[in-house]
Every structure is written in C-alpha cells, then in structure tokens.
A and B are shown apart, each in its own frame.
Chain A
Amino acid sequence: MDFIRPSTWQEALEARSAVPGAVAIAGGTDVMVELNFDHHRPPALIDLTGIAELGRWRIDRAGDGNGSGGDTVRLGATVSYTTVIDELAEQLPGLALAARTVGSPQIRNRGTVAGNLGAGSPAGDSHPPLLASGATVEVESVRGARSVPIDDFYTGVKRTALADDELIREIIVPAARGPQQFSKIGTRNAMVIAVCSFAVALDPRERTVTTGLGSAAPTPRHASDAESYAAEQLPWHDRDPLADAVARRFGELVAAAASPIDDVRGQADYRSHALSVMARRTLGWAWEEYRCA
C-alpha cells in the first residue's frame, strides 16, 4: 500500500487519478477502522491533511456573486466537526447541532463533514442538516471540477455521486436564513451511530420549510410532502403558536417519507415512530425560535 502525502490540491488530484481505488484520508475516523481490522486494504492512501487550503472555511457574502442570494459558507474538506461547532454555529446552526452529536471530543477533533459525505453512510450525522440547508458538494478530478447539489449526491447505501478519480474539495452551505434544528436517536448521548435522525430548517423570508432524514432509507433524503405541508400551514404572518394538529401531521408526513429497515440498531417501526416524534419536536423548537425572534 502506497502512502501519498500531497502538499497541493493538484498533486492530490493527480494521485487519485493515477492510482485507481486510492482512498482519501483526513481524520481517519472511518478509514483507519477499516485498516485496523483489515476489512479493506486500498492500493494507496492519499493523506489530505497536508493541504492547508482544505483545512479552512470562509464566508462568501451575499452580493459577491455567490449565486444564492444570501451568505454562503465554503467548508474545506478537512475542516473538523470541532471547528464547525466552535466557529460556525451562528451561520450553520443545524450542521453545528449535528456535529455536536458526532462520536466524542476526540472523534470530533479529527472527523470531517467531507469524510461523512465520502463514506456515504445513510446514518452519517452531517447529511440531514446538509439536505435541509441545500448544500452543494464541490468535487474535482484532473478532468475538471463540478458542483453536485446535495440532493443528487447520495446514490445508494455507502454509494455517492463521486467518480473514481474525484475528490471532495469543499462543501458550500447557505448560511441559515432562519431557525434550524437537529435531533438524533441513539442508545446514549455520545459515541453512537444514529438509529435515525432528523433536521429541519425554516426560511421565514421565503416561507419554506426544508428537512433531512438520516438512517431512515438507503440514502439520506428529504420529506418533501412534509415540507410543503408545513410551509402552507405555518402561521408565518401572525406567528401564532404551532398548532398540535399541524405538528402531528408534519410528524406523520415525515415518517411516511422514510423507508426504514430492521437492523441491529433498531426496528423499522421504531424508526418511523421516532422520526414522527423528532419531526414534531424539532418543528416546535424551530417555530418557537421564529416566534420569539
């Protein structure tokens, strides 16, 4: 097994192209487990941690031509969960909430959002808030760069739109335009892979509600019917308290959007029920934040 330590992005792309099956490593929280247990021995590892630009984030202000109509955060591929929590909780509250539930402090210090995407596990904690925020994954190979909308990124269980020669360079996440919430079910507060998880984001200006479901289907996905239902039913103008019936129906529609399975972490029925509860609660929290703003 070769160990390649590029110091520039171009070198990394060339290495990825030159060695089919080479695996990118940053925090190592997934890749090293595979190696330690001899589950997988790739022909080469490409260590991205020596490329300084990947470890940084920056904000593109609205009006600077970022094309989204609001501020966007450009999150480099090796930015850790700890950095998201410490430095980006204001701009990306949903993603920061999800990051807080990842592993333990040691894992959050090393693990990355891009690594979560690259692994493509339906249980990854980053996916629901990235879906709810409408993120874009910037991928590149020696052939060129392309932008993959998050809705198109997940193609199957541990399968993504990333081609064999491509690497994730950065993730572009629109800054929150309103309250965002995240909830996750597990057997304890730390060190758990989600039984299921849910993210919701409100955009009071556009009067839209967006969602993301994790660990509830072969890929992370939206609950589209729940989104349009809530957008129509929420009393955006009067800011009345969230009606129980609306919250409950929203929960039912979220559960209906899932295609959960029975596995070692939980049963399908439990996942559906838990999703409806999490959806109802998180919508309530987000709505209260909007009402009181």
Chain B
Amino acid sequence: MRLNLTINGARHTADDVWPGESLLYVLRERLGLAGSKNACEQGECGSCTVYFDGTPACSCLIAAGQADGHDVVTVEGIAEGEDALHPVQQAFVDAGAVQCGFCTPGLIVAAHNLVERHDDPSDEEIREELAGNLCRCTGYEKIIDAVHLAAERKQEAGS
C-alpha cells in the first residue's frame, strides 16, 4: 500500500508498505527516521515511543495501515531546530540521565509528555508515567532527576 502520514509536521509518503508491518518499521526502515529505537517489538520497553495523534504510544504496536492519514511526532520532532535541544533533552544531558542512550529517545518523548501535563511531578508520578520505558544503565535515578530539572526550568521560564 501507499502510506501517507504527517511526521513532525511534514507530509511523508512511503510506497510498497506491507500494512501489517509496524509504524516503527516504517519510520526506521522506510523513512530513515532512526531516532525511535527497535528493541522488544512487543510494547515492553518503550524505546519506540512516539506521539500518535498527540498521545504517547509504542510505534511497534501500531500497524502501518492504521497510521495512514495520521499525525506522528517522533523524537526527531521534539527539538525546534537541528542544532537546538528541547529543554527536556537539555535536562537529560545536564542531569547525566543518558548512558548508552538506547532508551533515551523513548524516554524523551515520554518525559516531554509528562512535563507538558504536570507542572511539578512527584517522584511517584514520574515513576508511574515512565513505567513503560526500560533503561538498563542508569538505575533511573538520574532520569527522575532530569524530569524534575525539566519541570523546574519550565516553571521558572513560565513565571
């Protein structure tokens, strides 16, 4: 099938797509958007998290055919420019929340969504909201620090 979808605000077309392949496969292998990571292919790890019509979802669990005509934002679309980092990304760098980096794209999308919806999230809320993103390096503490830092900076910037 021919797939038409909006990714990070731009219209994209992919041809000869098998409708049962995952949106993640379309992003990575057909459109060259390798930011979303492929690990478990069963929704366990969250490395492939994207916004699908504005809601965080595992792109490995969305059939390509279901994505036709829909709106996707990947980790590549979180920052505003090529050289700029989004404040959530900067907070991950500053807090030391990135080690091997494999889980980072999915965590950035999940953390971005969290900070958009919570001004001052508690540790418990952060753990709950990021429960679907596995990290095997950091032990999560620095990731939680990064979310607090991003939320604080957002509040400072807004006040």
Q: A residues within 8 Å of B by Cβ?
A: 1, 3, 5, 25, 27-29, 31-33, 35-37, 41, 45, 47, 49, 82, 103-107, 109-110, 189-191
Once A36-B22, A45-B20 are accepted as A-B contacts, the answer to whether A107 and B43 lie under 8 Å apart by CB is yes
Interface residues on B, range: 20 to 34
**Which B100-138 residues have C-beta < 8 A from chain A?**
110, 128-129, 131-133
User: Are B62 and A37 within 8 A (Cβ)?
Assistant: no
Q: Which among B22, B49, B63 has the highest number of chain A CB atoms within 10 Å?
A: B63
Once A190-B131, A190-B132, A191-B132 are accepted as A-B contacts, the answer to whether A105 and B19 lie under 8 Å apart by CB is no
Q: Which among B46, B58, B133 has the highest number of chain A CB atoms within 10 Å?
A: B58
Q: Which of B56, B60, B65, B129 contacts A36 (CB 8 A)?
A: B60
Q: Which of A31, A106, A190 contacts B57 (CB 8 A)?
A: A106
Q: List 22 A-B contacts (CB under 8 A).
A: A25-B63, A29-B61, A32-B22, A32-B61, A36-B22, A36-B42, A37-B41, A45-B19, A47-B66, A49-B66, A104-B43, A105-B132, A106-B43, A107-B43, A109-B56, A110-B52, A110-B58, A110-B61, A110-B62, A189-B128, A189-B131, A190-B128
Task: State whether the Cβ of B44 lies closer than 8 Å to any Cβ in chain A.
Answer: yes
Q: Which among A47, A105, A191 has the highest number of chain B CB atoms within 10 Å?
A: A105
User: Are A32 and B131 within 8 A (Cβ)?
Assistant: no
Once A189-B131, A191-B131 are accepted as A-B contacts, the answer to whether A103 and B43 lie under 8 Å apart by CB is yes
Interchain nearest-CB distance for A115 vs B (Å): 11
Interchain nearest-CB distance for A29 vs B (Å): 5
Task: State whether the Cβ of B79 lies closer than 8 Å to any Cβ in chain A.
Answer: no
User: Are B131 and A105 within 8 A (Cβ)?
Assistant: yes
A27: chain B residues within 8 A (beta carbon) = 61
User: Are B66 and A25 within 8 A (Cβ)?
Assistant: yes
User: Are A33 and B57 within 8 A (Cβ)?
Assistant: no
Interchain nearest-CB distance for A12 vs B (Å): 14
Interchain nearest-CB distance for A199 vs B (Å): 21
* Contacts A27-B61, A47-B63 supplied; 7 other A-B pairs, CB < 8 Å: A3-B65, A32-B60, A45-B20, A109-B56, A110-B62, A190-B131, A191-B131
A49: chain B residues within 8 A (beta carbon) = 66
Interchain nearest-CB distance for A50 vs B (Å): 9
Interchain nearest-CB distance for A123 vs B (Å): 15
User: Are A106 and B62 within 8 A (Cβ)?
Assistant: no
